[in-house]
Copies of this chain bind each other. A is one copy, B any other.
């Protein structure tokens, strides 16, 4: 049986309340008594029971992290996010309770319910697409007493919901500008599904950059230059690229909205005996580690999910403390990683 405050109290001949205060290093207990109590606690191998403590203090110092089970976990972004979250949680004294949710009939409700039952102090909801957790569910959650933060770009009309995400507009803008700076004027696009808010924002950034540079395509060109694919499905990049190569439309660069698709696109180009970046420049989106391992290595936009995770925890802490966040929509700026696939970098070390 684990040793409790009572055991220490008995051994030292003092009341449990005194022992409790001593263990929490409260001021109103004599230094000598403290020492004696600590001594005994030490030798007995005392470990405070956080369960009991939580029951009376009404807080668990635990944050709940909920993720959809749809292969997100394998994604680079998730690892970064988890790292950011867990390190910052650790730093701020929180434990982390992790749940994956089988998307489907109300999976998310059971997961959130479970965490509610565990009385976590706050909740981080990662990357749920609109269709998996509808806004109405979030609004409902906001009415319960537990504070939460949504991670990932999505459309939200309610102001009661706090969200943090990558600035997809800015990322696409940077990538496109990079291509423009390198002299490209005809830029093809392998996109994601355009009903996805993430994709919408990236397209907007892409268009903004073109417009600013005074580049304009005919409606017909746009139709031929843009391939709408599911950018998280294997084979999408290959299909999109081949379709582009087969079209009559001329272009010198491709902006691909995910690194995985970009890598497939590069393969597809190379398989036709063509060269990247000489025949076509390719830029991706995500910033996955393996980008540097490709040949040519991939120029891409790095989504700042480590930072996002970290910041999410900080925001959540504020929320838990009852503070009101200055902004309830936060977008973090992504960085352009320049490597070889656009020709801007020719050096061939593998460490970058």
Min C-beta distance of A341 to chain B, whole Å: 12
In the bound complex, what is the Cα–Cα distance between A326 and B53 (angstroms)?
38
Find the B residue at minimum CB distance from A52. B55
A293 at the interface (CB under 8 A from B): yes
Identify the stretch in A28-36, A182-190, A258-266 within 8 Å (CB) of chain B at 4 or more residues: A258-266
Contact among B78, B82, B266, B351 for A235, CB-based, below 8 A = B351
- Report chain B residues within 8 Å CB of A271: 295, 348
Q: Is A137 an interface residue (CB 8 A)?
A: no
How far, in Å, is A75 (CB) from chain B's closest CB? 8
Once bound together, how far apart are the Cα atoms of A2 and B119, in whole Å?
Answer: 10
A323 on interface, CB distance cutoff 8 Å? no
B79-A263 in contact (CB<8A):
no
- Segment touching B, from A89-97, A125-133, A173-181, A219-227: A89-97
Residues from chain B with Cβ under 8 Å of A114 in the complex: 95
A 104-125 binary contact with B (CB < 8 Å = 1; else 0): 0000000001101111000000
Q: Does A43 contact B (CB under 8 A)?
A: no
Known: A268-B350, A350-B237. A49 touches B260 (CB 8 A): no
Interface pair B48/A51, CB less than 8 Å apart: no
Contacts of A65 in B (CB 8 A): 98
Is the beta-carbon distance between B117 and A50 smaller than 8 angstroms? yes
- Chain A, interface size category, equals 35 or more
Chain A stretch 57-116: residues in CB contact (< 8 A) with chain B: 60, 62, 65, 69, 73-76, 78-80, 82-83, 86-87, 90, 95-100, 102, 113-114, 116
Partner among B55, B97, B264 whose Cβ is within 8 Å of the Cβ of A95? B97
Bound form: Cα–Cα A177–B60 in Å: 53
What are the residues of chain B within 8 A of A10 when measuring CB–CB? none
Task: State in angstroms the CA–CA spacing of A52 and B87 once bound together.
Answer: 28
B49, A117: Cβ atoms under 8 Å?
yes
Q: Please name all residues of chain B whose beta carbon is closer than 8 Å to the beta carbon of A117 when the two chains form the complex.
A: 47-50
Considering only CB atoms, which chain B residue lies closest to A67 in the complex? B86
Contact of A263 among B102, B293, B351 (CB under 8 A): B293
Q: In the complex, what distance in Å separates the CA atom of A268 from the CA atom of B349? A: 9
A289 part of interface (Cβ distance < 8 Å): yes
A62 proximity list for chain B (CB < 8 A): 97
- A290 and B217 CA atoms in complex are apart in Å by 34
The 8 A-B pairs with the shortest beta carbon distances in the complex, nearest first, are A263-B293, A290-B290, A238-B350, A235-B351, A264-B350, A74-B79, A98-B98, A86-B100
Which residues of A are at the interface with B, using a C-beta cutoff of 8 A? 2, 47-52, 54-55, 60, 62, 65, 69, 73-76, 78-80, 82-83, 86-87, 90, 95-100, 102, 113-114, 116-119, 145, 234-235, 237-238, 260, 263-264, 266-268, 270-271, 288-290, 292-295, 348-351
